Amino acid sequence: MERPTAVQDIGEAEPDFDPSKRFVRITGIHNNSLIKFDFSIGEPELYIELVLPFQAFQDFCAHNQVAHLTPEEAARVDFDRMKWRYGQPGADQ
């Protein structure tokens, strides 16, 4: 099975929503035992924040057959978040 990618080209999102694609972005580690991460289905820009113990995180990722976001894909998610928060990326509020 081919690994899904979140973004085909850094400036261009995939055109179709595909609910079979699952994405994970690790955002932190708490007390050296809990993994903080964003989980998304279909497109990485729409996600929920979750926290799981390390083994449960590994099981979760295996069960959902997730793709871990690359740094470039994570940057696109951050760019999209800034647009929603400020109206345009980098704008002062």
User: Tens of pLDDT along 76-92?
Assistant: 998 888 887 787 655 55
Asked whether 44 and 6 are in contact (CB, 8 A), the reply is yes
Task: Determine the average pLDDT of the residues in 56-77.
Answer: 96
Reading the block at residue 51, the tokens are 């926290």
Task: Determine the average pLDDT of the residues in 37-59.
Answer: 96
Task: Determine the average pLDDT of the residues in 67-71.
Answer: 95
Nearest one of 22, 25, 47, 23 to 36, comparing CA atoms: 25
Give pLDDT tens digits for 6-39. Answer: 555 545 555 678 999 999 999 999 999 999 999 9
pTM of the model: 0.71
Asked whether 66 and 50 are in contact (CB, 8 A), the reply is no
